[in-house]
Amino acid sequence: MTGCCSWNDVFQYETDKIIRIQSKTYGTIKWFFHVVLFSYIGELRRCAAEVWLCCSFLWHVEDSLTMGACSQTPLRCQYMSVKVLLIENSWIGFLKNIFIVCIVVYNCFALVSDKRYQRKEPVISSVHSKIKGIAEVKREIMENGQKKVVWNVFDMADYTFPLQGNSFFVMTNFLKTEGQEQGLCPEYPTRRTLCSSDRGCKKGWLGPLSKGIQTGRCIDYNKKQKTCEVFAWCPVEAAEKAPEPALLVSAENFTVLIKNNIDFPGHNYTTRNILPDLNSTCTFHKTRDPQCPIFRLGDIFQETGDNFSEMAIQGGIMGIEIYWDCNLDRWFHHCRPKYSFRRLDDKTAKESLYPGYNFRFAKYYKENNTEKRTLIKAYGIRFDILVFGTGGKFDIIQLIVYIGSTLSYFGLATVFVDMLINTYSSKYCRSHVYPWCKCCQFCAVNEYYYKKKYESIVEPTQTLKYVSFVDEPYIRMVNERLLGRSLQDVKGEKVQRSQLDFSDLSRLPLSLHDPPPIPGQPEEIQLLGEEARLKSRDCPDWCQCGSCLPSQLPENQRRLEELCCRKKLGACITTSELFKDLVLSRRALQFLLQYQEPLLVLDADSANSRLRHCAYRSYTTWRFGSQDLADFAILPSCCRWRIRREFPKSEGQYSGFKSPY
Ligand SMILES: [Zn+2]
Ligand SMILES: [Zn+2]
């Protein structure tokens, strides 16, 4: 089945092919972005790196354009795409699909539960409150040196005051100073105001805490104490503590009616918290009557876990929160308030410097043509009504935006599976986990996917070169300066020889038609190394095959050509049959050159030079396999000189190896 809906398609995993560039420049840029912009703006980092790469690439292309002038088409309009690898592994495919199903389920859940398909708008509101209740107050006052109990009745006008904003104040406790008139009198005795003589007082002094302007005299406050005389409202207010228990402790039975009108102008919707069918005798209760807008003050304190009679002494601030979470869609219409309460002032009233909430006000009157006043320091509870919430209505644009934003989550599946492939293809797993953990063994297949997925590219620096010895199965990468050592002696880094692709062999220009078998003579494969030759005297000391010659290059470049075809003593590669067939055969090289340029005429002047270079390339392609390595391959001295002997240069010096980049 090749259709798009077969079951096999479900169990496949696609991933991008990534080319890892081992370049210090880009590595530094990547880390710079990592550190500076943090990893969560990963997209930005990738973008910047891509723009950078793209720019430098275009630059390069333009260079070659001006030099080669091969095309007039502007190359700026390019499209870059990622190569996708299709891994047909049912376990990985299953994992990917499980992941995708989970992401879809989560996104749908978030869409419905958070109503992400709605356009939301904050609430606009107005609040009005009405307090009701009567309190009886029992007060002890001193009259003519005698204690006297006075009973008062307090109604709304006595204990509530208009405040700005969505707030109202209920007085719960007070201190009264009656019969004050402007004049001279002693300050109330405190540590600050006590004095023993006029020298302790200063004329005209105005302390921030004093009740009036000092006259500079020290006079008797009572029989025992002397204080500074002040010009003030006399007698001055006594610095007493708030009465305990609070005088209006019965205020907890007061009720408050809160009227709240709200508006969502964007949705053209208006409503209020008081419905027409409201029972005017109800009282709010969290479970029994959660929609009643009439609150008993004591109940509010019970909800927050505070003690009213305790808080009534010093006063405080209480928040009444009205939360509107409105769904204005026709099919799920719901728009009712939710009430909650929160104490807003400092709960540790006893420890703070100015605990509670209080302020002073005065009632003025005239007695015998003298202006007098009654000063009242009022303690009480300020109720702040906080209205907040949103109204949401279905909006197609919001839905599209949400769907768009969830698409990025699907990338998580790729990230996760890629991480698994990377983890299970590590050398650590191969050497430490798989031999011990039998159930992990099948994960070794990830190494294959990894190899297919990631291609490593070494930065083509000036010092990069590859070396192949005929008696070693691998290739050595040398990426360092030689610093006076022969290339033969540099250890380098082992690189796997690329897998032999036999289909490439058919392209080799071998005229390998089998020679007729010679009867009676068994076929022999010539083995190098069998006939170890003795080193001749004139060959350099780094040579192991006996055929190398000293370099002709200037002294500073000479070390690069000091390379033999072998690491250990033995026969030279130039003595092999294959070397003759692949590298030296004039017919084969001509075939190769004409394969590329069919109408090539090799005249006597250029023939040797072209054949020589073709022979160099034949050798590197044969010994190094991949073109990536062959570009940086160094020929052993013996091969180089053998080829040069075959196709000599008529005049001048041979140039030697040059890095292609
Ligand atoms: Zn040699
Ligand atoms: Zn050799």
3-state secondary structure labels for all residues of 238-251: CCCCCCCCCCCHHH
Gap from CA of 565 to ligand 2 centroid (Å): 4
3-state secondary structure of 461: coil
Gap from CA of 551 to ligand 1 centroid (Å): 12
Closest ligand to the CA of 574: 2
| Best CA proximity match to 482, nearest among 467, 495, 496, 468 | 467
Gap from CA of 618 to ligand 2 centroid (Å): 16
Gap from CA of 638 to ligand 1 centroid (Å): 5
Gap from CA of 505 to ligand 1 centroid (Å): 27
Gap from CA of 569 to ligand 2 centroid (Å): 10
Q: What is the mean pLDDT of each run of 10 residues along the chain (661 residues)?
A: 53 70 76 66 59 60 43 44 80 91 94 91 92 87 81 87 85 89 88 81 82 86 86 86 85 91 93 86 90 92 89 90 93 92 78 77 91 92 93 93 91 87 83 83 83 78 88 89 84 80 59 50 47 59 87 82 89 89 87 86 80 90 84 90 86 74 72
Gap from CA of 571 to ligand 2 centroid (Å): 7
**What CA dihedral angle connects 431, 432, 434 and 439, to 10 degrees?**
-170
Gap from CA of 563 to ligand 1 centroid (Å): 7
Gap from CA of 537 to ligand 1 centroid (Å): 12
Closest ligand to the CA of 546: 1
Gap from CA of 587 to ligand 1 centroid (Å): 27
- The alpha carbon of residue 245 and the mean position of all alpha carbons in its chain are separated, in whole angstroms, by 56
Gap from CA of 546 to ligand 2 centroid (Å): 7
**What CA dihedral angle connects 415, 419, 421 and 427, to 10 degrees?**
160
Distance CA 48, CA 569 (A): 53
Closest ligand to the CA of 569: 1
Closest ligand to the CA of 571: 2
| Best CA proximity match to 420, nearest among 457, 441, 447, 454 | 447
359: CB partners within 8 A, 6+ apart: 377, 378
Distance CA 522, CA 266 (A): 98
Gap from CA of 626 to ligand 2 centroid (Å): 22
Gap from CA of 343 to ligand 2 centroid (Å): 93
Closest ligand to the CA of 540: 1
CB 435 within 8 A of CB 635: no
Gap from CA of 547 to ligand 2 centroid (Å): 5
Angle at 293 between CA 289 and CA 299, to 5 degrees: 65
Distance CA 155, CA 312 (A): 17
Gap from CA of 574 to ligand 2 centroid (Å): 6
Say if strands 226-234 and 255-264 run parallel, antiparallel, or are unpaired.
Answer: unpaired
Closest ligand to the CA of 469: 2
Look at residue 559 in the predicted model and tell me its pLDDT. 85
Closest ligand to the CA of 640: 2
The residue to which tokens 């003025």 are assigned: 364
Q: What is the pTM of this model?
A: 0.60
Closest ligand to the CA of 470: 2
Closest ligand to the CA of 543: 1
Q: What are the φ/ψ torsions at residue 401 (nearest 5 degrees)?
A: -60, -40
Distance CA 393, CA 326 (A): 9
Closest ligand to the CA of 568: 1
Task: Give me the helix-helix angle, 24-37 and 42-68, nearest 10°.
Answer: 150
Residues with CB under 5 A from ligand 2 (ion): 545, 547, 565, 572, 638
Closest ligand to the CA of 468: 2
- Report DSSP state, residue 520: T
Gap from CA of 586 to ligand 1 centroid (Å): 24
Closest ligand to the CA of 563: 1
Gap from CA of 652 to ligand 2 centroid (Å): 25
Tokens of 182: 């402007």
Q: What is the DSSP string of 335-373?
A: --EEEEEEE-S-S-TTTSSS-S-EEEEEEEEEETTEEEE
Gap from CA of 326 to ligand 1 centroid (Å): 89
- Report DSSP state, residue 200: G
Q: Where are the beta strands (DSSP E) in 88-225?
A: 118-122, 124-132, 135-143, 146-154, 160-162, 167-186, 213-220
Bridge partners of 98? none
Look at residue 41 in the predicted model and tell me its pLDDT. 53
